[in-house]
Structure 1
Amino acid sequence: MSAESSHAVISGEPAGRPRPTLRERKKERTRRTIRTEAFRLFREQGYTETTVEQIAEAADISPSTFFRYFPSKEEVVLADDLDPVMIQAIDRQPKGKPVLAAIRDATVDAFAEIDPEIMEFEKERVALVYSVPELRGAVAREFERNIKLMSGIVAHRLDRDESDFEVLTLVGALTGAMYALIGREPFSQEQIVRVIDFLESGMPI
């Protein structure tokens, strides 16, 4: 999850969301081109060997334009476009629904909204993050950021403070389980739902 995730592209606009302006659509196309070309170069010659200048040239933009979209090459990989879709799906869940059930049902709803092409890109992105040693430090920072983000979401649903012991423990268990699995098996809706079901059942072993 990252600040760039506010630019998620999904198959269709949820009800009530205004249609993007022409300028917004052009910006989104440029952003997608940058990421598409970057990942092509990563596959062909490796993450470490690929430079910002090469990505910019492949995307037919200047390096300065690249930096208007991403502050670094690292952020091209770390930007998570599933975040806003997931957050909106959680917000749509009934207020009284148990928090883990709300996250599970929101996951199913969110994955149903996402264009298959975008989902395939996200799977490749996650695999890259966990296979490149140079990105390990960034992964640790993202873990901390995800704890803070999810703590806010859970605390809001439960009308509690995000520093509440139960809130942090629940979020830590959920986030920690996901990070333990990602990189060892393919990222998928089934993986997330299985983690939530296991936590919800009391983690019987």
Structure 2
Amino acid sequence: MSTSPGLRERKKARTRATIQREALKLFQRNGYAATSVEAIAAAAEVSPSTFFRYFPTKEDVVLSDFVDETTIERFVEAPPELSLTEALTYAVRTGIASLPEEDFELEHLRNRLIREVPELRRGLLAEMMRPMELLADGIGRRLGREVDDDVRMYAGAAIGALTLLEPSYHDVKDADPRALLDDIVERTKRLERILVLPDPD
């Protein structure tokens, strides 16, 4: 009997998550530059070729899923009476609340690595296009409207606000990760005062 697509996809998702989790643990223990793809693959109990099937480069294991499809689904499915920025806050808060403590700490580490490692900072600029497109699609689905230039510009501004943290966080390695993510949520709320999505023509 063949394995159903649902089971295959869940197995792939578990493998992907395991690789990311083990990579972040190694980065925390040994440093980003000193950690090889071979070491990550060994820790995740996969071959290097399997690693590269999920992540084309070592940078991708940190940058992938910076804003993921699950967050966008929470945004789309948020209570209908919420505004766009309120729905985004809801999605972020719900995602934070659902994380086990270990994964929460690893997310904090991931954010710190992106701020501190030059090649990751450069990679984030390219990676931001993917979450912008995801959010723009989510806005179109939530509002039942075409994803036009206004929607894309709104999504780009929102993702930019979520990824540009206050300078005071940049050099604080031991900052409380809860406070850091509270800052992300607060930024989402502030978007309500700054961004207005015009009605379609």
Does residue 1:120 correspond to 2:105, yes or no? yes
Unaligned ranges ≥5, structure 2: 1-5, 170-176, 196-201
Distance 1:50 1:173, change over 3 A: same
Counterpart of 1:195 in structure 2 is 187
* Residue correspondences, number: 182
Unaligned ranges ≥5, structure 1: 1-19
User: What CA RMSD, in Å, does the superposition of the two structures yield over aligned residues?
Assistant: 2.8
1:48-197 matches, cutoff 5 A: 48-80=33-65, 83-165=68-150, 167-181=151-165, 185=169, 188-197=180-189
Distance 1:24 1:158, change over 3 A: closer
> How far apart, in 2, do the equivalents of 1:72 and 1:202 lie?
36
Does residue 1:40 correspond to 2:32, yes or no? no
> How far apart, in 2, do the equivalents of 1:174 and 1:196 lie?
8
Counterpart residue type for residue 41 of structure 1: L
> How far apart, in 2, do the equivalents of 1:183 and 1:77 lie?
21
Q: TM-score, normalised by structure 2?
A: 0.74
Larger relative contact order, structure 1 or 2 (CA cutoff 8 Å, min sep 6): 1
Q: Is the 8 A contact 1:178 1:192 kept in 2?
A: yes
Counterpart residue type for residue 136 of structure 1: R
> How far apart, in 1, do the equivalents of 2:166 and 2:131 lie?
14
C-alpha offsets along residues 111-138 of structure 1, whole Å, 9 cap, x if unaligned? 2222222222111111112211122231
Q: TM-score, normalised by structure 1?
A: 0.73
Superposed displacement of residue 140, structure 1: 0.6
Superposed displacement of residue 182, structure 1: 6.8
Counterpart residue type for residue 89 of structure 1: R
Counterpart residue type for residue 160 of structure 2: G
C-alpha offsets along residues 44-77 of structure 1, whole Å, 9 cap, x if unaligned? 4322232212222333332122223322212211
> How far apart, in 1, do the equivalents of 2:46 and 2:186 lie?
42
Q: SS of the counterpart of 1:181?
A: coil
Distance 1:32 1:171, change over 3 A: closer
Distance 1:182 1:160, change over 3 A: farther
Counterpart residue type for residue 177 of structure 1: A
Superposed displacement of residue 104, structure 1: 1.6
